[in-house]
Structure 1
């Protein structure tokens, strides 16, 4: 979806990387390695996005580190577009709302880091029927063209794994108040 609107594949990948999870920060060489592209091509797109005010750039030693500019007026819209591009919005709407007592939902792994790997790691917290989750996941996978790997936790299990989720930059999609991230 995003690639049809934005003709630069690198620019589209950068937008997904930074706007899917605004806590993500990266530097030029790391992005070039991750995308399998030249540093010059990535640098051009980073400069364009920075000049447009969509990315912030900070010096950390001799390295420039980039992150999403969450204060930019288009930030919320770009974040929603990134989620829709990956199909995460459909996971929230189609799966989570139908499972009953879902207290929280997170995306971890590649998608939380803004990498479209084709596998969405979804962590659900609450009293959830695993077989119904698997049934709904199969339907959604066909709809969005990505595999969903689910981990269902109780509130107690979440508290034991909280540090690990924070370390993985888990992206909150849903909380008990019905809000999405």
Structure 2
């Protein structure tokens, strides 16, 4: 989806990087990470900065770039990137296949727009399929390079015996 809207492959990589994977980067490290020429990365960084989607600041001789969190479309682009990476699909699959899930929430840093590398979820339900949850967490890590931590709560308040935390 995202790559059909944005024709530059380098620009797609930059949007994915800045709106999901990390908060900042500089030209040479981005070129190396993407296995692209510094010129093609520079051109796209300049275009995204001119559009106001990225901001840059000098750190010594290095210019650091990061997403402009005050841009009016920041949340929309972050949402598109999230859908592109499959996080919405992950939540939908969990709710459909885990068993009797009454509620599912993404909480913590990711819910607050901070990409700390960990997605924290709370599932409320009864008799949930823990084996399938383990499979989904591994697949999520492979697909979006994020650790997934899940807290499980029983849906019947009389049965709540605490929160079990499962991490990768």
TM range (shorter): 0.5 to 0.7
Q: Which residue number corresponds to residue 32 of structure 1?
A: 31
Equivalent residue number for residue 55 of structure 1: 54
Shift of 1:107: 9.2
How far the C-alpha of 1:123 sits from its partner, in A, is: 4.8
The 3-state SS of whatever aligns with 2:15 is: helix
Deviations 1:97-131 (A, max 9, x none): 864575655799xxx589xxxxxx75545676512
Superposition pairs of residues 13-162 of structure 1, within 5 angstroms: 13-20=13-20, 24-95=23-94, 99=101, 123-124=120-121, 129-134=129-134, 137=136, 146=143, 150-152=148-150
d(CA) in 2 for partners of 1:106, 1:90: 19
Q: Distance in 1 between matches of 2:9 and 2:59?
A: 27
- Cα distance, 1:45–1:30 mapped onto 2, change above 3 Å: same
Shift of 1:94: 3.3
Tell me the TM-score normalised to structure 2 length.
Answer: 0.66
Tell me: CA distance 1:100–1:134, structure 2 relative to 1, closer, same or farther (3 Å).
farther
| Aligned residue-pair number | 143
Q: How much does 1:44 deviate?
A: 0.4
Query: Which ranges in structure 2 are unaligned for 5 or more consecutive residues?
Result: 153-162
Report which of the two structures shows the higher radius of gyration computed on alpha carbons: 2
How far 1:87 sits from its partner (Å)?
1.0
Distance 1:47 1:124 in 2: 36
- In structure 1, stretches of 5+ residues that fail to align are 115-120, 162-181
Contact persistence 1:24–1:113 (CA under 8 A)? no
Q: Is contact 1:17–1:113 with CA below 8 Å preserved after alignment?
A: no
- Equivalent position SS for 1:65: strand
Q: Which residue of 1 aligns with 2:10?
A: 10
Q: Deviations over 1:11-32 (max 9, x none)?
A: 01101111125x6111111111
Q: How far apart are the structure 2 equivalents of 1:106 and 1:88?
A: 15
Shift of 1:93: 3.4
Q: CA deviation at 1:9?
A: 0.2
